[in-house]
Amino acid sequence: MQPLVPGDPAWVGGYRLLGRLGEGGMGRVYLGRAKGGRAIAVKVVQREYAQLPEFRARFAREAEAARQVDSAWTAPVLEADTDAAVPWVATAYVPGPDLHTVVTELVGPLPEPTVTALGNGLAQALRDIHAAGLIHRDLKPSNILVTVDGPSVIDFGIARAFETLADEKLTRTGAVVGSPAFMSPEQVRGHRLTPASDVFSWGSVMAFAATGRSPFGTSDGGLHALLFRVAEEEPNLSGLPSPIRSLVASCLAKDPEDRPAVGELIAHTEPTADPWLPASLLAHLGREIARVLHTDVPSGELQNNEAPTGRSKTVTPADTPTATATLPAVPARRPLPPSPSVPEKSRQRFWDTSRRRKHLYVWVLAAALTAAVVPVVTFLDGLGRPSSPFAGSWELNQPVLGGTYRRLEISSDSTPGGSPVRVLFTNSRGNVLCKATAPVLESSSKRLALGKEKITETVPARAERECVAGRGESYTAERQGSVLRRESTSTKDDSDTALVKAAGGSRPIGAAFLGNWSGSDTSWDSSYQWATVAVHQGEVGSITVSFVLSGGGDGKACKGESPLLSAKDDSLRLGPADFSSSSALGCSPVGLTSSGSSDELTLLLSGNATITLHRTS
């Protein structure tokens, strides 16, 4: 812990600040004390970022999301003021260094019993996080604090609320957030995330704790090489103790469906060591706790824990009143409820509250007698870097359906070194939808520069050879950022050089299009005159339309699915179809249009043919 310096606030909310615990690009974390003497970690956002409305809104969402987690294995959010001139959030102070510091600076790779106990505590933390409807998305050693009575997971700054598949509101595809060496393959590819992504990260953390290295190496050879290893290559698990090697290997499966559930991780990591930490680390933690307990208000300042009456001296302006802190009790760490599939003996958890409390007192007292150093609490840097000024969805300004197609999905974290941009485009023949990611090289208020694209997926599947990845493009903003124009083109008036804001998110399709439809049109000469169509909600780029087209006397028919390319109030643009039965020229829906009636749509086929559809359900 570092002392306060001139310019640091003496009070934030109802908390008296005692010193600096950490600092990052987005703000500082202070050690504070509440009125009753309880130690608090107070995170204060830097003033320049507090002026960004999108950042402030994001901070508020994440603080509220973190408060939903009821777990003894996470640092609880006690209070937050996201409306203050400079937002802040207060969490329970966790007395311990982060796992990265423990392994790389204090004791090296951890012994097998400690790794097993660590895995059990982390799995229980994930169970509680997922039960609150969250995905942590950045489980890594520096976001895990090691304490005398178990690990504690921190940093929900990048956790995102997720809901069930039935509601089709899973975490948004393309929002790639996390730390490269501990990300899941689906994060690297910008795919939709589920709790299985955290399970993959759990496996990477376990390997690091036991061996001192990431199972996919470091970024010394280049970030892209590291991401490729995470997404495509097998992990290096050499040196991992055999009792947990198979469990970690199963967690690092590339396919999320092949990974174990969190409950299985808990059941297979029954702690056996008591105490769970090596003696040298326990002594270190005891000295840190003793140091914090003796940390007092800086000399020359107020010598009690009472906040000043009237206006408090906080980071907010002097005329801003401060709310009284409300400090809920920290929940006692409790064992996992018994499971019918777990033997009765294993239900007597190592983490039993009464036993752990007894050992906590004994070991803290013994270690504190040896005295020294305050813990280093890592700054919760998950809130990331400044938001991209181009966050949102952009597509080529095409006045009609068909023709050239290109779309950019830019997240708020799409800045240099942050999340890549998701790119969708059709190939030169228009029969394959190509999905790619592109790193951000520059993101200023007027210019966006992207690096070389990497193809991640195609529709139809396995058609990568039909897609030519871009080598990098630059865009300039026009009309207050409402238009992005490609710099590489020479004709500024051509519509295929301009990208305009477009509908995005998880529910871009209007209710007028959703449902089942059928219809026919025999007024034109074609093999396909009857159609049944089903439209369901989905993100741009995902399969949203399934169809069956049939003809007259020749008996021709085709069946397939189409991805959504663009959604507007009166039309949907559809991409190249993926056929499940043989097809012929002309059997390819390109769009759906609405005349305003809730019971009638027009299906547009290639070749300018149309079929009028009527709602069936």
Decide: helix, strand or coil at residue 324: coil
At residue 170, the pLDDT reads 33
At residue 553, the pLDDT reads 54
Q: Are 151 and 73 in contact (CB under 8 A)?
A: yes
| Lowest mean pLDDT segment, chosen from 138-147, 180-189, 353-362 | 353-362
Q: Are 610 and 529 in contact (CB under 8 A)?
A: no
Angle at 65 between CA 31 and CA 537, to 5 degrees: 155
Q: How far is CA 249 from CA 139, 235, 587, in A?
A: 17, 8, 45
Residue that has been written with the tokens 């089942």 in this structure: 516
The model's pTM is 0.50
Angle at 491 between CA 488 and CA 496, to 5 degrees: 80
- Which candidate, 123, 221, 140, places its Cα nearest to that of 179? 140
- pLDDT tens-digit readout, 316-357: 322 223 333 333 333 344 333 333 333 333 333 444 443 444
Q: Which two tokens stand for residue 318?
A: 């002097």
Dihedral through CA 506, CA 511, CA 516, CA 522, nearest 10? Answer: -120
Greater confidence, 88 or 23?
A: 88
Residue that has been written with the tokens 């009166």 in this structure: 570
At residue 280, the pLDDT reads 82
Q: Which two tokens stand for residue 162?
A: 């997720």
Dihedral through CA 113, CA 123, CA 350, CA 380, nearest 10? Answer: 80
Greater confidence, 294 or 376?
A: 294
Alpha helices in 212-261 (DSSP H): 223-232, 242-251
Most confident of 69-73, 431-435, 495-499: 431-435
Q: Is the peptide bond before 278 cis (omega within 30 degrees of 0)?
A: no
Q: Round the average pLDDT of the chain to a whole number and report it.
A: 76
Q: Please give the average per-residue pLDDT across 3-21, as a whole number.
A: 88
At residue 481, the pLDDT reads 63
Q: Which backbone phi and psi does 189 adopt, to 5 degrees?
A: -85, -5
Greater confidence, 557 or 440?
A: 440
Q: Are 337 and 349 in contact (CB under 8 A)?
A: no
Residue 501 counted as an annotated binding residue: no
Residues 6+ apart with CB under 8 A from 164: none
Residues 6+ apart with CB under 8 A from 490: none
Q: Are 195 and 262 in contact (CB under 8 A)?
A: yes
pLDDT band at 293 (very low <50, low <70, confident <90, very high): low
Greater confidence, 465 or 272?
A: 465
Q: Which two tokens stand for residue 245?
A: 């090697």
H-helix or E-strand spanning residue 455? strand 454-459
In whole angstroms, give the CA distance from residue 241 to residue 210.
Answer: 8
Greater confidence, 359 or 529?
A: 529
- pLDDT tens-digit readout, 534-552: 999 999 999 999 998 887 5
pLDDT band at 291 (very low <50, low <70, confident <90, very high): low
CB atoms inside a 10 Å sphere around CB 447: 15
Q: Please give the average per-residue pLDDT across 426-443, as a whole number.
A: 89
At residue 258, the pLDDT reads 93
pLDDT higher than threshold 50 for residue 53 = yes
Q: How far is CA 560 from CA 428, 513, 575, 589, 606, in A?
A: 21, 18, 12, 10, 15
pLDDT higher than threshold 60 for residue 169 = no
pLDDT higher than threshold 70 for residue 367 = no
- pLDDT tens-digit readout, 558-585: 888 999 999 988 899 999 988 876 555 5
* 198 among known catalytic residues: no
In whole angstroms, give the CA distance from residue 68 to residue 49.
Answer: 25
pLDDT higher than threshold 50 for residue 127 = yes
pLDDT band at 421 (very low <50, low <70, confident <90, very high): very high
Residue at 590: amino acid letter: V
Catalytic residue among 128, 138, 198, 521: 138
Q: Which two tokens stand for residue 41?
A: 């970690």
pLDDT band at 178 (very low <50, low <70, confident <90, very high): low
- pLDDT tens-digit readout, 231-252: 999 999 998 988 899 999 999 9
Q: Are 502 and 569 in contact (CB under 8 A)?
A: no
Report the percent of the chain where pLDDT is more than 70. 74
pLDDT higher than threshold 60 for residue 376 = no
Decide: helix, strand or coil at residue 430: coil
- pLDDT tens-digit readout, 145-154: 998 888 999 8
Report the percent of the chain where pLDDT is more than 90. 28
Distance from the first to the final alpha carbon of the chain? 64
Residues 6+ apart with CB under 8 A from 63: 77, 80, 82, 89
Q: Which two tokens stand for residue 84?
A: 């203050």
Greater confidence, 508 or 595?
A: 508
**Burial (0-12, 13-18, 19+ Cβ within 10 Å), 615:** middle
pLDDT band at 292 (very low <50, low <70, confident <90, very high): low
In whole angstroms, give the CA distance from residue 442 to residue 451.
Answer: 9
Decide: helix, strand or coil at residue 226: helix
Most confident of 54-63, 66-75, 168-177: 66-75
At residue 415, the pLDDT reads 83
Q: Is the peptide bond before 275 cis (omega within 30 degrees of 0)?
A: yes
In whole angstroms, give the CA distance from residue 535 to residue 545.
Answer: 5
| Lowest mean pLDDT segment, chosen from 72-76, 162-166, 460-464 | 162-166
Greater confidence, 557 or 129?
A: 129
CB atoms inside a 10 Å sphere around CB 153: 24
**Burial (0-12, 13-18, 19+ Cβ within 10 Å), 569:** exposed
pLDDT higher than threshold 50 for residue 386 = yes
Residue at 598: amino acid letter: S
- Which candidate, 434, 403, 408, 429, places its Cα nearest to that of 419? 408
R_g (Cα) of the chain, nearest Å = 28
Q: Please give the average per-residue pLDDT across 26-53, as a whole number.
A: 81
At residue 555, the pLDDT reads 63
